[in-house]
Amino acid sequence: SLVIRLGAGLDNVDVATAEKLGLKVFNTPGSSATSVAEHIIGLMLALARNIPACSHRVKSGVWPKAECVGVELCGKTLGIVGYGCTGSELAKHARALDMKVIAYDKYKRVDSNAEGTSYEKLLATSDFISYNVPLTQETKDMFNVENLAILKRGARIINASRGEVVSVEALLKGLHDGIVAGAALDVLPHEPPLTDSEKALLLDPRVIVTPHVAGSTEEAETRAVAMACDIIKRELLTRDEPKTLNS
């Protein structure tokens, strides 16, 4: 009678059909927040210091010291789009690196680790932008070609939420036009990459891609399973039923 998604995203769960079948749907929000936030920090550092490209060149027999000049994270502005479990955890980590943190969330207030702002101002003033929103009709292509007109030149885009949140075509155009300095993606619209546009991103040395592993840590998996077990115990053994996603 239960469907439990180990993780927060429900785009791969047919909630409507589950409801028709009388199944209760749960997820485990926050179980991977720390893991995803740490992965995003790692991606930002890799982008800022060109770590993957420099490592690849050294392994290829080149010593490209002069080509590997990067930028510091300290003092830069991080714009967080979506201030849920992951976004708020990311803000805490970024503050520890002395970054200025601003955030946009249509439905939630930010805490003391970030300054709330509009989406337009976030695009115009951020050096790094991280998307941490669920995939909905509202967030699909949230970063798009139109945004390039107001995006701060030299911004770096990070997406560890869902592939369809950031338009691949917008990234390619931004990179081609020199507006986007780099991108780090843990997710793509098709996984593994399928379209010519997605494959073109892989060929750009300014783009880092990881295979949807931001939340893949031993600790996150342990927390998710523990939360699922707690849901099962409360649902089956007590009358104190937890709130479902479709109740």
Per-residue model confidence as pLDDT tens digits over 174-218 = 999 999 999 999 999 999 999 999 999 999 999 999 999 999 999
> 191 catalytic, yes or no?
yes
Residue 116: per-residue pLDDT: 98
Read off the pLDDT of residues 14-61 as tens digits, 9 standing for 90 and up.
888 988 888 889 989 899 999 999 999 999 999 999 999 999 999 999
CB 122 within 8 A of CB 94: no
Calpha distance 203→116 (Å, rounded): 35
Read off the pLDDT of residues 77-113 as tens digits, 9 standing for 90 and up.
999 999 999 999 999 999 999 999 999 999 999 999 9
Q: Is the pLDDT of residue 169 over 90?
A: yes
Calpha distance 101→130 (Å, rounded): 11
> 212 catalytic, yes or no?
yes
Residue 244: per-residue pLDDT: 61
Residue 104: per-residue pLDDT: 99
Catalytic option among 169, 191, 219, 241: 191
Task: Indicate the pLDDT class of residue 146, thresholds 50, 70 and 90.
Answer: very high
Using a cut of 0.85, tell me whether the model's pTM lies above it.
yes
Decide: residue 151, CB within 10 A, 0-12 exposed, 13-18 middle, 19+ buried. Answer: buried
Calpha distance 54→50 (Å, rounded): 6
Task: Indicate the pLDDT class of residue 245, thresholds 50, 70 and 90.
Answer: low
Q: Is the pLDDT of residue 129 over 70?
A: yes
Calpha distance 228→230 (Å, rounded): 5
Q: Residue 102's closest CA among 115, 92, 89, 90?
A: 115
Q: Is the pLDDT of residue 225 over 70?
A: yes
Q: Is the pLDDT of residue 235 over 90?
A: no
Q: Is the dihedral of CA 233, 236, 242, 244 positive or negative?
A: positive
CATH class of 33-209: alpha beta
